Amino acid sequence: MSELLQLIFSLPTPFNMVVLIVLIGVAGGVITTIVKQAGTFAQQRQDQAFKRELIDRGMSADEVQRVVEARRRPVHREQDHDEEGSPVDGGVKLDIRLGEKRRSKVRQDPAQAQ
């Protein structure tokens, strides 16, 4: 290893820096690939353990498949906000101060209002 470094540093000045930059880039790519593969392996092991746990609970293969697919799908929910800026779910807001539910106003699209 030290002989390789001596060989690189014995090159003329601009070339040895280019070789070092390329070696650093290649080493970074290799390390990144190894870390990604380790993460993929860990995720697969976790999924396998989760599936075994579901089967041990007595679920059928179809139920396990549905649970695993539902777990993988991201859930994106858009929340509406009322005039006070509080989140509103489905047009119903729980007023904690008063302990009662109230209907919030449904916002109209400005293009439709005209």
Higher pLDDT, 18 or 100: 18
Query: Residue 31 falls within a domain, yes or no?
Result: yes
Q: Is residue 94 part of a domain?
A: no
> Has residue 99 got a pLDDT over 50?
no
Q: Residue 108 falls within a domain, yes or no? A: no
**Both tokens of residue 76?**
């994106």
Per-residue confidence (pLDDT) for residue 85, from 0 to 100: 64
**Residue-wise pLDDT tens digits, 20-40:** 899 999 999 999 999 999 999
Could you give the number of structural domains in the chain?
A: 1
Which pLDDT band, with edges at 50, 70 and 90, does 56 fall under?
very high
Residue 78 domain-assigned? no
- What was the pLDDT predicted at 9? 78
27 falls within a domain: yes
Neighbours of 93 (CB within 10 A): 19
Domain around 62: 2-72
Instruction: Say how far apart CA 27 and CA 33 lie, in whole Å.
Output: 10
In this predicted structure, what is the pLDDT of residue 104?
47
